[in-house]
Structure 1
């Protein structure tokens, strides 16, 4: 049975990613302001979890077939990444043309691509040039592509795979190992050698869920997770973001556990795992409220995460340009940022209608429009057509 929490939290993460990319006070509506982790952690973890639900059995029964499916999915993500970079470049060049200010090219790290398109696109194509906001999908290309090669081994030796993943995370974090992501040699912002740990964790736990292994439920575990979440909340002093007690902090910032984003440092990782455990502990997989009211909109976006994510990245860039260029007030900025969310819902709704039409055509048999190939959705449900999986 489909776990509604996966699509719900994926949709929630998509909205949070959009709001966090637009520089307005609307970021205070996301959990980034109240702890060490944010939507990126959730998105990567769910990618691994849903990949296990979709393909782990296939890796066990027919490793080659499942690997080909994962490779095809990685290629779809790769093409989406190239389209996003092209769209970001178009937005930047149009902004320069309308305003005469080339600063946007520098902010979006697109100056090299605009100045030397041949070398720039070659670097983009080889994932060695990741513009601002164009550095998220490449992670999934690498992770899903790696899964195509290593999936059969991971499903058979999950403990060993997790141990190697932890070791890679430790070594990369300790020595700063990361691939180059800019022409000047600057590394990937999301260091894939570190962030792979969240993906592998999600995959291993997803494989356990696929086999029916229940999450350990113990009051002491819940209490420990709650303590981690509370500590992170107090440590980031969220009241200062609202203008209250600007000089008051409970913990010396220099003594906090490292919680940087780029290297997925330990404080950030523990905070996310604590949040994830509490949510999984408190919310049943088939909670009725997940498919009703506003929650159903998050479900819808989560089911079609790739088109929603792609549109959200480009839209957040456009919204950022408009916010920076237009005199406004904090209140209007919040309204403006929130106005992008209905657009994301509309994208998901259109994709849902397309998927249903394709499924209906497939059921109708010969003489109707030919459907696309059947592919697994993030939660393992089979759908006909071009269902998006991030």
Structure 2
């Protein structure tokens, strides 16, 4: 089995990074155009699913070529790099937030970013940071990814051979976690905002999708209008989209939302990856994959900018985390006018794209020169 890169993965990873940045800038008008406004899931599901997809593509190829021991060493080395990045990123984020807070008089950015715990108990906060328990706002995805990556060597051999068995065990853990309130400890007696015992299912599903996507197709797919799964997924997306839009008008929502359905549906837990959220993302991913095959559209210049960000998702994600409080500060200093809010949102994305372009250029410079090229 060969593992080939799907350019759509890079594009949607980059798009998820843009959505995450926009969603974390308060009062950002462009956040109204992110995926969280059209259904139950948001960019976090995209990020975790594609992280699993990309991880299995990369380390699955290494495992088949060099063996599982080499793949495990590379996975653990990558997890260590992410752990070090997490520590330094948190230090930089705190410095930026403290700086921004000193220039914004109308709000307490330190409190809003969840950094008050560090000021009140710095020694314990530093220990919690090393144990991945201290996670201010914007920082939750990175510790989750570190933990999921650490667990990948345990399931990669079976995932490559019998992916359905791993998915089955993952589903069982996903169902048991909320029933028995399994989660990891956070600060002040709390728990992880992204429960890794629940979110691991998306990571595993991403890996299973990567393996399935490499298998040769035995027959031509039927037209979309004759595919029951596609029709069902599209119907679910339309219904959940109407519900999500109705949240903007509580009176309309309360009028048309059946009481029994509301009692079953709410609250839609993000911490435990509510089935409604999970199903919405899976439907969204399935419909998108069917409507947008990996063809020439991924070669468009604008699409390539997102693909480049997706290829360097760790660096761009960290940069976006640091840019969000700076954009918030810029908006506050500018009086939170619409023009300034749009400018800061677009400026942040532009800087993220420039970082991706620089990293791509730097990578090409570091490539060894072949004899034939001399």
What TM-score results when the alignment is normalised by the length of structure 1?
A: 0.85
Whole-Å separation in 1 of the counterparts to 2:337 and 2:104: 22
Whole-Å separation in 1 of the counterparts to 2:90 and 2:114: 11
Q: 2:327 aligns with which of 310, 314, 319?
A: 319
Whole-Å separation in 2 of the counterparts to 1:93 and 1:319: 14
Q: Measured at CA, do residues 97 and 27 of structure 1 come closer, stay the same or move farther in structure 2, by a change above 3 Å?
A: closer
Is the contact between residue 154 and residue 161 of structure 1 (CA under 8 Å) also seen in structure 2?
Answer: yes
Task: Give a deviation string over 1:346-380, Cα, whole Å, max 9, x none.
Answer: 11011011101011xx2258xxxxxxxxxxxxxxx
Q: Measured at CA, do residues 329 and 101 of structure 1 come closer, stay the same or move farther in structure 2, by a change above 3 Å?
A: closer
Return the offset for 1:262: 1.5
In the other structure, the counterpart of 2:273 is 264
Whole-Å separation in 2 of the counterparts to 1:216 and 1:229: 22
Is the contact between residue 16 and residue 46 of structure 2 (CA under 8 Å) also seen in structure 1?
Answer: yes
* Correspondence 1:47-66 to 2 at 5 A: 47-60=51-64, 62-66=67-71
Task: Give a deviation string over 1:159-198, Cα, whole Å, max 9, x none.
Answer: 221111111111112233211222x121111111111000
Return the offset for 1:120: 1.7
Is the contact between residue 309 and residue 353 of structure 2 (CA under 8 Å) also seen in structure 1?
Answer: yes
Is the contact between residue 104 and residue 329 of structure 2 (CA under 8 Å) also seen in structure 1?
Answer: no
Q: 2:200 aligns with which of 196, 201, 207?
A: 196
Return the offset for 1:92: 2.3
* Correspondence 1:43-82 to 2 at 5 A: 43-60=47-64, 62-82=67-87
Whole-Å separation in 1 of the counterparts to 2:125 and 2:106: 21
Return the offset for 1:81: 1.2
Whole-Å separation in 1 of the counterparts to 2:19 and 2:107: 29
Is 1:251 the counterpart of 2:254? The answer is no
Task: Give a deviation string over 1:253-306, Cα, whole Å, max 9, x none.
Answer: 724634321211011101100010011111122x11111131111111111111
Task: Give a deviation string over 1:84-140, Cα, whole Å, max 9, x none.
Answer: 101111012223444578932222222232344333222101112111111110011
Q: 1:299 aligns with which of 295, 307, 312?
A: 307
Is the contact between residue 108 and residue 132 of structure 1 (CA under 8 Å) also seen in structure 2?
Answer: yes
In the other structure, the counterpart of 1:173 is 178
Whole-Å separation in 2 of the counterparts to 1:159 and 1:345: 37
Q: Measured at CA, do residues 335 and 158 of structure 1 come closer, stay the same or move farther in structure 2, by a change above 3 Å?
A: same
Return the offset for 1:331: 4.6
Return the offset for 1:2: 2.6
Task: Please identify which structure carries the higher helix content.
Answer: 2
Q: 1:42 aligns with which of 40, 46, 51?
A: 46
Return the offset for 1:48: 0.7
Whole-Å separation in 2 of the counterparts to 1:165 and 1:262: 17
* Correspondence 1:92-111 to 2 at 5 A: 92-98=97-103, 103-111=108-116
Is 1:10 the counterpart of 2:16? The answer is no
Q: Measured at CA, do residues 98 and 284 of structure 1 come closer, stay the same or move farther in structure 2, by a change above 3 Å?
A: closer
In the other structure, the counterpart of 2:245 is 237
Return the offset for 1:324: 4.2
Whole-Å separation in 2 of the counterparts to 1:161 and 1:6: 22
Instruction: Calculate the aligned-residue CA RMSD, in Å.
Output: 2.4
Is the contact between residue 129 and residue 180 of structure 1 (CA under 8 Å) also seen in structure 2?
Answer: no
Unaligned runs of 5+ in 2: none
Return the offset for 1:78: 1.3
Whole-Å separation in 2 of the counterparts to 1:154 and 1:364: 36
In the other structure, the counterpart of 1:281 is 290
What TM-score results when the alignment is normalised by the length of structure 2?
A: 0.88
